[in-house]
Amino acid sequence: MHLVNPSAVASAPAREIIFLSGHSDAIEVYQVTIDLKPEQERIIQAEIERGHFRSPDEVLDHALAALQEREQARQSTPPRKNLAQFLMESPLAGAELNLERQKDYGRPIDL
């Protein structure tokens, strides 16, 4: 990924075929221009200047890996149950507990 002025870029993304040495398979690579907000560009530049990353490509790779990791964690977590399901599966289910509230009649107050 290169930080590029959007007005200087052609309208259609370029396609390249890259052959990795030692591999017989071709990898198709799409060159894409990403328009960044000024704040996003500032964050990327700051991360590179701090030495956390060497290039904008590395920042993007890290961000995409974190996104995939979060999605995998979300998929492996069982869905949350609603309150009715929780109560039905409770160890106290079937214990015939009276959980109804008593009617509140209020109390007199002096004004």
User: What pLDDT does 9 receive?
Assistant: 43
Dihedral sign computed on CA atoms, order 67, 69, 75, 81: negative
Note down pLDDT in tens along the chain; length 111 residues.
444 444 444 444 444 544 455 555 666 666 778 888 999 999 999 999 999 999 998 998 999 999 999 998 888 877 777 887 877 787 777 777 777 777 887 888 888
Listed by start position, the domains of the chain span 6-76
The enclosing H or E element of 19 equals: strand 14-19
User: What pLDDT does 93 receive?
Assistant: 74
To the question of pTM greater than 0.95 for the whole model, the response is no
Q: CA–CA separation, 15 vs 31, rounded Å?
A: 6
